[in-house]
Amino acid sequence: MIASVLVAGAIYKHKKLREHPNMLIAYLSIANFISCYNLLIYIIGTPDFVCYFQIADLFHTLIKIIKPSFELIDSVKMLCNANIIFFDSSQIIAVCMSIFTCIDLFLSFKNPFYPGNRRMKVYLFSTVVIMLSIGYNM
């Protein structure tokens, strides 16, 4: 987790590192960090985590304004499901970014003078479409 944050931070901090292929690596690092964080919360126990840090109480208070019949156990269940959804989504994003890094490497060898920033837009859009289509089917 620490290495993912350090890699993404180094790429964002230095302008020369923000060149085309490195941004794919930065997004991949962020997705891996989010995935590891959510997995860590799942291993600790999501209900224990949200109750210990009183996240469930805060969420319950906010939702109770909109829906008065909302119970505390409902907020715990909802936060547990949200943790699983964030984990799955970040895993899908990480896999897509890894695949697009490989594709970009191949395309760069095949046509080295084609600007990589144009392909980056396609990679990000494709990642969002893939994540939403897989997430919708879950």
pLDDT in tens, 29-70: 999 999 999 999 999 999 999 999 999 999 999 999 999 888
Helix (H, G, I), strand (E, B) or coil at 93: helix
**Number of alpha carbons in the 13 Å side-chain half-sphere of residue 93:** 23
If one compares 92 and 118, the residue with the highest pLDDT of the two is 92
Mean pLDDT over each residue of the chain, to the nearest integer: 91
Instruction: Specify the residue for token string 């891996």.
Output: 32
At residue 138, the pLDDT reads 66
At residue 8, the pLDDT reads 92
In terms of C-beta density within 10 A (0-12 exposed, 13-18 middle, 19 or more buried), how is residue 90 classed? buried
Angle, in degrees to the nearest 10, between helices 72-110 and 20-44? 150
Query: What is the chain's alpha carbon radius of gyration, rounded to the nearest angstrom?
Result: 19
Distances from the Cα of 138 to the Cαs of 13, 38, 58, 113, in angstroms?
36, 18, 28, 40
If one compares 130 and 113, the residue with the highest pLDDT of the two is 130
| pLDDT surpassing 90 at residue 80 | yes
- Please give the model's pTM, rounded to 2 decimal places: 0.86
Q: How many residues does the chain have?
A: 138
Residue 95, number of CB atoms within 10 A of its CB: 17
Q: CA nearest 100: which of 79, 119, 72? A: 119
